[in-house]
Amino acid sequence: MPEVIKIRRGLDIKIQGAAEKIILTAEKSKTYAVKPPDFPCMTARLNVKAGAKVKAGDCLFYCKDRPQIKFASPVSGEVTSIERGERRKILEVVVTADREIEYTDFGTTDPSKLEPDQIAEKIQNAGLWPVIKQRPYAMIANPSKKPKSIFISCFDSSPLAPDLDFALKGQSVAFQAGLDALAKLTDGKVHLGLNGKYPPADTFINARGAEMHYFSGPHPAGNPGIHIHHIDPVNKGESVWYVHPEHVIQIGNLFLKGIYDASRLVALTGSEVKKPVYYKMLSGASVEPVVSGNVTGTELRYISGNVLTGSQISRTGYLGFYHNQITVIPEGKHYELLGWAMPGFKKYSTSRSFWSWLSPGGKYRLDTNLHGGERAFVMTGEYEKVLPMNIYPVYLLKAILAEDIDKMEMLGIYEIAEEDFALCEFVCTSKINVQSIVRKGIEAMIREVE
């Protein structure tokens, strides 16, 4: 048995609605969207106008600062609308799909025979570069700076997350092709972060040319940020790239089949879903076909992604670029008489201040209520219990609030992302918006340092 890195600090939230391991093919969505707000710290420039005809893999928009980073349409069809928000910021580029998807052909090649530049160019042209993210800053990787290593975290520990060992099994060939392509982009190693709890899928353990690391423990044990922190931490001036295994397979398919294949297995989860199962969908698809008639209740929150880091969408909203999970939970717009004084037999809390500790095995139907008002930092030691990093979270957050760039750097801003601090936000007694503060700090760093 290989060495397992045991993550001790963290939390598996006991929430209802995990997906059963059944795969259904979703009814095809009529419209698809690519959403620039899915990509932090990126300003989009449009490449198409409303009414244009596109094929799957054609560029819809590109990054203003790095035009080689392109964003592709997942389907063929007609660009029907471009939704804009404040200051004409692009929110959604919507494509109405043809009945059959027509793919732009990027040509099949063996990645081992290509130069790194050619590989990067091919990935960029097919609109797949945005799947590669980097630390520091948890944003799309900067193509002009070689990373010291590349991480692929092959399990997702977040609440109700899809089981990647189940979802990606039997895709060894495409995964290996993607891995070979990525390995050429770094002079360092490619690291796989595997689930130490049980034997991982063949897709991962048969992979060649990568170093395997096993992790066990509660969430965030599966976060790439945690894997990077424990294996090859990011220092000032360095960068590490990381890619979701689903996207490694997409890159593999680009080289094997020559197309931008946006299909993925999506877990429909949450306490309000009647039949939580896995669906085969395309990136950017509307969630309407899978949720309509499949949810209970009226006041619901639809989330693309998981309950900690996902983004709120409408019932007819679109699946996010990085997401392979849809969660539906009840909204919590209700008052509770003297709620803070009641015993709270059914209230979930990591502290034992509610009597729900009497039933430790149960899972909870959690809603979106804040359960209190925002306060200053008062309690201590709360964040540390759910952050398995050698970082002092409150000091780092205070440095961000004080906009002290030097302090942020010294306290480890290069190593963190919102998702790593999401549990801190969940447990916070003072109801502080921790993830927003982290993003604010990252934006300040990009502004001042880059």
93 forms part of the interface with other proteins (CB under 8 A)? no
The strand pairing partners of 140, in sequence order, are 133
Q: How far is the CB of 383 from other proteins (least distance, A)?
A: 10
Footprint of other proteins on 360-389 (CB under 8 A): 366-381, 384
Q: How far is the CB of 296 from other proteins (least distance, A)?
A: 18
Give CA–CA dist 360/20, Å, rounded.
23
- SS3 of residue 233 by DSSP: coil
Q: How far is the CB of 200 from other proteins (least distance, A)?
A: 28
Footprint of other proteins on 288-307 (CB under 8 A): 301, 303, 307
The CA-atom distances, in angstroms, between 2 and each of 7, 147, 205, 214, 390 are 16, 26, 12, 7, 24
Of the pair 134, 271, the CB lying nearest other proteins is at 271
Of the pair 170, 343, the CB lying nearest other proteins is at 343
Sign of the Cα torsion 425, 426, 429, 431 reads positive
Sheet holding 149-153, edge to edge: 4-6, 211-216, 190-195, 149-153, 240-242, 133-135, 139-140
Alpha helices, DSSP H only, in 156-223? Answer: 164-167, 172-183, 202-205
- SS3 of residue 287 by DSSP: coil
Of the pair 166, 348, the CB lying nearest other proteins is at 348
Sheet holding 53-54, edge to edge: 31-34, 90-97, 77-84, 53-54
Sign of the Cα torsion 96, 101, 106, 110 reads positive
Q: How far is the CB of 274 from other proteins (least distance, A)?
A: 20
Of the pair 94, 329, the CB lying nearest other proteins is at 329
Footprint of other proteins on 380-439 (CB under 8 A): 380-381, 384, 390-392, 394-395, 410-412, 418, 422, 425-431, 433-436
Give CA–CA dist 217/180, Å, rounded.
29
Q: In the stretch 219-248, what mask flags binding to other proteins with x, by CB under 8 A? A: --------------x-xx-x----------
User: Which single residue is written with the structure tokens 């540390």?
Assistant: 384
24 forms part of the interface with other proteins (CB under 8 A)? no
Of the pair 199, 372, the CB lying nearest other proteins is at 372
Footprint of other proteins on 317-346 (CB under 8 A): 327, 329, 331-341, 344
Q: How far is the CB of 224 from other proteins (least distance, A)?
A: 19
Using alpha carbons only, how large is the chain's radius of gyration in Å? 22
359 forms part of the interface with other proteins (CB under 8 A)? no
Looking at 36, 225, 284, 310, which residue binds other proteins (CB under 8 A)? 310
Q: How far is the CB of 310 from other proteins (least distance, A)?
A: 7
